[in-house]
Amino acid sequence: FSAIVSAPADQVPKSLMITSSVADEGKTTVATCLASMMARSGKRVILIDADSRRPDAAKLMQVPGGPGLMDVLTGNASLGDVIQTHEASGAFIISAGNAPINPPAVLASEQFAATLKGLADRCDMVIVDSPPVMAVSDALAMASHMDATVLVARWGVTKRASVRLSVRYLNNAGASLIGGVLTQVDAGKYALYGYGDSGSYTGDLAAY
């Protein structure tokens, strides 16, 4: 993520989707932390919770739920009604809102594409926290609208087959997959593999 933040302005994606293969891999934590980090560095960032079934982003950022993205896309609210501010970091947040009958159809709509573009034109980055790829088709519905996508996987839990299948699904849906994030890593076990950076977590550099 430091590569994204420090890249030249013309190389930074304006819209970035954070997704995972299955639930409980840490994608929402990654999305909220990235939004907070970028906002604290002076960037104008909007975090969108696009997971209307498990809308945890607003909860993690400790802002009220209420009307959100889905209400805007279904014509029941305006953008001005749903954009909130995370006081601690300065990041803007749009909660998921009230789940429609068919979320994938709403997220695949031109209305979503237009809303995303309008937000991207007003800030440095729009970060979208999406549902897991293997659970529902929402992430695939949004994939082609996003400038870039990052796939989150949980250390020692997520099956390699699930990751491979998620990558295939995302690519087939038109996603620009730029990388992955491994979460909840056991630093001690990681060091046993002898990777060059393992000392950063368990050796003399661990204190930093």
- Shortest CA distance to 104 belongs to which of 152, 70, 149? 70
Q: For the segment 56-92, what is each residue's pLDDT rounded down to a tens digit?
A: 998 889 888 789 999 999 999 999 999 999 999 999 9
pLDDT value at 4 more than 70: no
CA distance linking residue 54 with residue 12, whole number of Å: 28
Q: How far is the CA of 74 from the CAs of 77, 100, 122, 199, in angstroms?
A: 8, 8, 22, 50
Structural contact between residues 84 and 63, judged by C-beta atoms closer than 8 angstroms: yes
pLDDT for the residue 58: 87
Rounded to 5 degrees, φ, ψ at 130 are -105, 165
Specify the range with the lowest mean pLDDT, choosing from 122-131, 169-178, 182-191. 182-191
pLDDT for the residue 2: 64
Output the six-digit token pair for 182: 């491994």
